[in-house]
Structure 1
């Protein structure tokens, strides 16, 4: 039996060995007969920007609300900074939460919105105003201190909500779909602002999102959730290039997936016979498997190469027909049909403004990829 080699040299998140700042142990949350969070255990370290990623109903927001103290675990234990959170109400926890709706007071100025929590906590006015001024400068809103929320753009309102959450200096900031209300371009710009603010303050952030691109951009690590469980935890390159299952491979990015059976199992390569592709796939590294085993092979669209001539010395090259071409500006996406009927997506970067002799609709071409470009999945 061959052992899998980590050909990309991707490493798990091992930046520190100190005690986890947040420790979630065997946590389950039930609502009647429905299990929203199912026996989750997770460690998060101080200073991380950790993303909980998953589709609607996977349990990510419920887990966040249990950290905040808005929900109580049915079973299990949550510790923050070494303290058991059992019985500790939300207002006494070293956390603050920023909601997708922002929930700004429309009748208050930006300055008063940000100062509201400090006033409720009885912070002396001179200290409160100094802290408000500092945080507004950090989020680049000092010029808008006197404005009302309806006089701000969506991105500016998002930063007001962030400033209001951070001005109380929480040890942990919880963000539930914080950028979901922004348009695509503004969301992309705000992601980098959020990273800069988090790095400047050193506050631990936990972000809940369903947007895989957002999670990949923001996070030090990602926890992928499905049906109430954490199915994989890792740094963004590890999650993308080395998914633990077909679910993760398909959820995080686009992937072409083939089912097959192992025909050769050697120390430095395996071969997979796949009816989907109408031939054998050559994998240029060892995999923990056995001859005859059924498994799946995934290849990302950007790993595929298309050409009119069959590539020389290609281990994985198959004929295909171009069915559709979608021009996206920075890249083009090709929809290819194999003789077996299987449809693939291939993406190609558009390097030139006016590329001549580009591959187009209804052409017979070859699709190929390197022998270490794909992923072998056993579950």
Structure 2
């Protein structure tokens, strides 16, 4: 599920070197005792982005979010929001609001009062509060639920109430910690699109923390992949998936078959890699910045591999094996192929035809083949 393009390529602020970031994180470190939860991290986030911090448990993503909110202070480094240094600004004075994974709704208040709570605390005029709550109820499609209590709502509805409450004070920056984590898969997928539409409508900068790769790919204008307190890669979803910069990113985002090899031919327009792991040469149809005889890795996504009964043409990018297992997932089938040298690889195939009688079956001998620009060459 891909987020539809929002901006033409030449107007995306992160592609403009002269554009000023809305959030500037510079050399931020956060230590708990001797442990660095965030380590010398620098990151720019631009106005109007829906930016996802993606990482596993302990990667530092939630700690970074809490520092943006002001609930934690950096051990060293600086955080700026909209040009203002946040080091001495308490959480309640920051142009920021945070939506927690638990939603933290007041159970004794109805939907209307939950959304209005922060506005009442700020002593806004009653008519202004009423107008803003009505606007938000319409935005999150809960006009008819204003009088209900949280226990009378579904998980998806509670999530939207929490979002409306977080947006009520019109923050410049909204932080969302695993906002869809409590929803079931189908509702989560539906809500992802709703969240994107709301963000686009308001133009508020969102920073979302998630461990769910599909969620990050669906929501984000850009993704920051975190590992051990550091940013491993920042890029648009297509960049992160199609052009990973390391073995960690290639393995963390989606699924990848990874093979170690040695460069045997290095030309400006192509590279040939000999891989004992694969049992075949790999031909890459573009130049690679590497040294002669350098050991490197080649990552190929399962959907980029063609599975055939007949041997394809060519000597490189072709291996023979046998189908060991098949997983039917409805929209696609996942094939586990054991190669002649004993190595296993994963291949996926879209199920275009219903009940395809010609589909490759268990224990069939097969050839796996891919194009010369289908994979990524990784040097670390």
Aligned to 2:107: 106
Q: CA deviation at 1:33?
A: 0.7
Q: Structure 2: give runs of 5+ residues left out of the alignment.
A: 1-8
Counterparts of 1:108-147 in structure 2 under 5 Å?
108-147=109-148
- Aligned 1:86-97 pairs, distance under 5 A: 86-97=87-98
Using the alignment, how far apart are the partners of 1:142 and 1:18 within structure 2? 39
| Contact 2:37-2:60 at 8 Å conserved across structures | yes
Aligned-partner SS, 1:373: coil
Q: What per-residue deviation string (whole Å, max 9, x for no partner) do you get for residues 75-105 of structure 1?
A: 0000000000011110000000000000011
Q: Distance in 1 between matches of 2:143 and 2:315?
A: 59
Moved >6 Å (runs of 4+): none
Matched, 1:191 2:192: yes
Cα distance, 1:126 vs. partner?
1.3
2:5 corresponds in structure 1 to none
Per the alignment, residue 161 of structure 1 pairs with 162
Tell whether 2:295 aligns with 1:323: no
2:307 is aligned to 306
Secondary structure of residue in 1 paired with 2:15: coil
Please name the residue that 2:203 is paired with: 202
1:267 maps onto 2:268 in alignment: yes
- State the partner residue of 1:38: 39
Q: Deviations over 1:128-155 (max 9, x none)?
A: 1110000010000011000111111100
Corresponding position of 1:29:
30
Q: 2:377 & 2:206 partners in 1: Cα distance?
A: 33
Q: Is the 8 A contact 1:275 1:340 kept in 2?
A: no
Query: 1:296·1:376 contact (CA, 8 Å) conserved in 2?
Result: yes
User: 2-side partners of 1:16 and 1:147: how far apart?
Assistant: 49
* 1:229 maps to 2:233: no
Deviation at 1:311, TM superposition (A): 1.4
Superposed CA RMSD in Å reads 1.3
Q: Which residue is equivalent to 1:56?
A: 57
In 1, Cα distance between the equivalents of 2:16 and 2:159?
Answer: 31
Q: Using CA pairs below 8 Å that are at least 6 residues apart, which structure has the higher relative contact order?
A: 1
Tell whether the 8 Å contact from 2:280 to 2:317 is kept in structure 1 after alignment. Answer: no
Alignment partners' CA distance in 2, 1:378 and 1:18: 31
1:285 maps to what in 2?
Answer: 286
Cα distance in 2 for partners of 1:313, 1:368 equals: 9
Which residues of structure 1 form unaligned runs of 5+?
A: 1-9
- How many residue pairs match? The answer is 370
Contact 1:314 1:370 in 2 (8 A): no
Q: Check 1:129–1:318 CA distance in 2 against 1; reply closer, same or farther (3 A cut).
A: same
Q: Please, what TM-score do these two structures have when normalized by structure 1? A: 0.96
The alignment's TM-score, normalised by the length of structure 2, stands at: 0.95
User: Which has the higher mean CA deviation after the structures are superposed, 67-76 or 335-344?
Assistant: 335-344
Contact 1:223 1:233 (8 Å CA) reproduced: yes
| Per-residue deviation, 1:120 | 1.0
Contact 2:281 2:316 in 1 (8 A): no
Paired residues of 1:297 and 1:374 also in contact (CA < 8 A): yes
Q: Which residue of the partner structure matches residue 377 of structure 1?
A: 378
